[in-house]
Amino acid sequence: MTSREQILEAIKKYKPAATGLPEHLSYPTLEVDQLIGQFQQSSMLNGGKTIVIKTVEEVSSYLQVHFDKQLQVVSLIPELQGTLDITKILDPHDLEAVELAVLRGTWAAAENAAIWMPEENLVHRALPFIAQHLAVVIESKNLVRDMHAIYEKIKVDEFGYGVFIAGPSKTADIEQSLVIGAHGPRSMTVFLVST
Amino acid sequence: MAENRTHAEAAEEFLKDEERTHWHDDTLWHVRTKRDTAAQKLPEWEVLRENASQIKEYVLSHLDELLIQFENNATANGVTVIWAKNAQEHNDHVYRILQENHVKNLVKSKSILTEECGLNHFLEAKGYDVVDTDLGERIIQFNHQVPSHIVMPAIHLKKKEIGDIFHKHLGTDAGADDPQYLTEAARLHLREKFIQANAAITGVNFGIAETGGFVVCTNEGNADMGTHLADIHIACMGIEKLIPRAADLGVYLRLLARSATGQSITNYNSHFHRPSPGKKMYIILVDNGRTEQLGREDFRNSLKCIRCGACMNTCPIYRRSSGFSYGSTVPGPIGSILSPGIDLKKHSTLPFASTLCGSCSDVCPVKINIHEQLYKWRQVIAKEGNPEPAKKWAMKLAGKVLGNPTLYNIMGKSARTALKLSPNSLIYTRFNAWGKKRDLPEVPKESFKEWYKKNRTND
């Protein structure tokens, strides 16, 4: 018998009596008017920062003030011009010097500031991890209560990869002291476009 | 390591450093309180726990079908699925994949399963330099240790010690112990490793049967740095890590980080379904004793565990004895019900490393009845004749005394007198485990029964 057959045989023999699955995994406890406030608070607790803006054009003016223009910027939003054209990059190792990546988020959960970004938003899977800083732009109409609401809307296997990013890279492995910037981005700025 | 020692003997080693013991105790309790705060923010918390438990119940009762469904979907996604009956098979498969793909440099993110299988030592013996990339794991790897906690692997070390370790291995300034500075040094060191790696090994937090994908959660982003830069991704997954539907992730991702550290979510929650063009992805499904545990009716619930570590943070024994005293890959309360199933003889003292207070069961996000299972393992072990002779003798005597009211009254009276009259040197001997590191309470003048008789005669 192969290992596969042995494992499946053993399970058949030992598994308990069949039980059912709970349906309708939804717990609407946040009100619509609480969403932006809750998102901002969650993001802050995760080590991130939220800027509420009226138009996407404001992203550009904010970043000009806060980031060095001499360094590499990859922008995947049409309103902002980057310095590196990611579509010309074939090997993700060539992203090593990226200072700032600006991406679009698809859905955001207010409860924990997790933002869903499928592979098409990233072009290269490595981008939001290898960049020194990360900025994500998301429309407030795509801000929902919680993870359940997002899983209802997305198809997780539509792309080969997708990720919920909720904050910058962080660790507390040395005496439980929080340090931002473990391996990936040293900051995460979320631009919440509230129209 | 506590290979052949009892939990109490191994704990004694840790307790020698009183300051560290208190620090360890306080730090983990702090994490426990953060968990409480996070849980209390969600009115639906208890419903979530109930659902999480029910979904895992469904998984255990349909595990064979779900594994086949998972395999079919993952295969259709272009992922190679491999089955391993035990640790040796798992390690052999990893080695074969590395050989076949001519891998020279590999990075690894946190995986308790690969610890369980002893993968690092196995690969190191074959000449590989296995680079653990989780900061805590890298620290203990430098220090030739194994994790003492499943979420906070280096929680047993102080920053001063980590500073010394980094000074030796990474050339940081002697005596420097600032966490920010040390983390930056590790960042630079590990970036180099990420860039050079041909293969990345990760664990799996959740495997999704209906899509054949899997989810890996980290705060550091190390699993992603590794997998997206390397050409080969090997994901090592215990067969119990399955969930039926993608929607179930909502339940588990909401519970996992809140239970583990009190965060509302880990900062990176990556959903892998297909390899990037030109790259390869493997999933190794590992049994290694899990099907046997499934066959143990009293203990199969332990397979619901999602490895959050909440039971460790809350456990009064774990907090004061540290992970190493358990001598098992998974320490703490959950480790004490999983490990006897793997090797009953070696781990026979673990179910006794508990006060049976039940706090572990109260915080468990998937509602495993941990303290009840600890009690049940004790019964199994007592039947097998395993507890220490002194304990056995004491239990027999206690059974006699408690079963006979006259004898009980006499024994109580004489004990009160004896304890009052005895010099401390006689009470705090090596035979009295309760006298170690603590004073016995003051001996009452009379028993409750005597007090009650005196005070309630008129009623």
In this predicted model, what pLDDT tens digit does every residue of A63-83 receive, in sequence order?
Answer: 988 888 789 999 999 999 999
Inter-chain touch B294–A15, beta carbons under 8 Å: yes
For residue A25, is pLDDT > 70?
Answer: yes
> In this predicted structure, which of B156-165, B427-436, B444-453 has the lowest mean pLDDT?
B427-436
Phi, psi dihedrals of residue B281, rounded to the nearest 5°: -130, 135
Interface list for A 12-41 with B (CB within 8 A): 12-22, 25, 27, 29
B223: tokens are 């699993």
B44 to chain A: which residues are within 8 Å by CB? 27, 29
Q: Are B357 and B29 contacting, i.e. CB atoms less than 8 angstroms apart?
A: no
User: What are the structural domains of chain B?
Assistant: 42-288 (3.40.50.10420), 390-455 (no CATH)
For residue B2, is pLDDT > 80?
Answer: no
Mean pLDDT for B390-405 is 78
Nearest to A11 among B64, B77, B275 (CB): B64
Q: A58 lies in a domain?
A: yes
Q: A24 lies in a domain?
A: no
A52: tokens are 């509420």
A151 to chain B: which residues are within 8 Å by CB? 246-247, 249-250
Half-sphere exposure of B194 (CA within 13 A, CB side): 29
> In this predicted structure, which of A14-18, A83-87, B265-269 has the lowest mean pLDDT?
A83-87
pLDDT bucket at B405, cuts 50 / 70 / 90: confident
Q: What is the pLDDT of residue B459?
A: 57
Mean pLDDT for B154-182 is 97
More confident residue, B385 or B261: B261
Q: A20 lies in a domain?
A: no
pLDDT bucket at B432, cuts 50 / 70 / 90: low
Mean pLDDT for B203-220 is 98
For residue A32, is pLDDT > 80?
Answer: yes
B227 to chain A: which residues are within 8 Å by CB? 125
> In this predicted structure, which of B333-337, B349-353, B413-417 has the lowest mean pLDDT?
B413-417
Q: A159 lies in a domain?
A: yes
B139 to chain A: which residues are within 8 Å by CB? 173-174
Q: A15 lies in a domain?
A: no
Q: What is the pLDDT of residue B1?
A: 42
Q: What is the pLDDT of residues B355-374, one digit of tens each?
A: 999 999 999 999 999 999 99
> In this predicted structure, which of B137-151, B189-203, B379-393 has the lowest mean pLDDT?
B379-393
Q: A27 lies in a domain?
A: no
Task: Give me the domain span that covers residue A184.
Answer: 32-193
Q: Are B229 and A126 contacting, i.e. CB atoms less than 8 angstroms apart?
A: yes
Closest CA to A182 of B268, B47, B197: B268
For residue B218, give how far its alpha carbon lies from the nearest alpha carbon of chain A (Å). Answer: 9
Cα–Cα distance between B101 and A157 in angstroms, integer?
27
CB pairs A-B closer than 8 Å: 263
Q: What is the mean pLDDT of chain A?
A: 95
Indicate the number of domains in chain A.
Answer: 1
Mean pLDDT for A148-173 is 97
Which chain B residue shows the shortest CA-CA distance from A160?
Answer: B274
Q: A39 lies in a domain?
A: yes
Mean pLDDT for B414-422 is 78
pLDDT bucket at B92, cuts 50 / 70 / 90: very high
Nearest to A3 among B47, B57, B85 (CB): B85
What CATH number is attached to the domain comprising A130? 3.40.50.10420
Nearby residues of B217 by Cβ (< 8 Å), 6 or more positions away:
B205, B253, B256, B257, B266, B268, B269, B270
Q: ipTM more than 0.90?
A: yes
Half-sphere exposure of B422 (CA within 13 A, CB side): 15
For residue A61, give how far its alpha carbon lies from the nearest alpha carbon of chain B (Å). Answer: 27
For residue B3, is pLDDT > 60?
Answer: no
Nearest to B54 among A13, A16, A22 (CB): A22
More confident residue, A24 or B285: B285
Inter-chain touch A156–B135, beta carbons under 8 Å: no
Q: A13 lies in a domain?
A: no
Nearest to B220 among A12, A125, A170 (CB): A170
Nearest to A167 among B83, B239, B267 (CB): B267
Inter-chain touch A157–B268, beta carbons under 8 Å: no
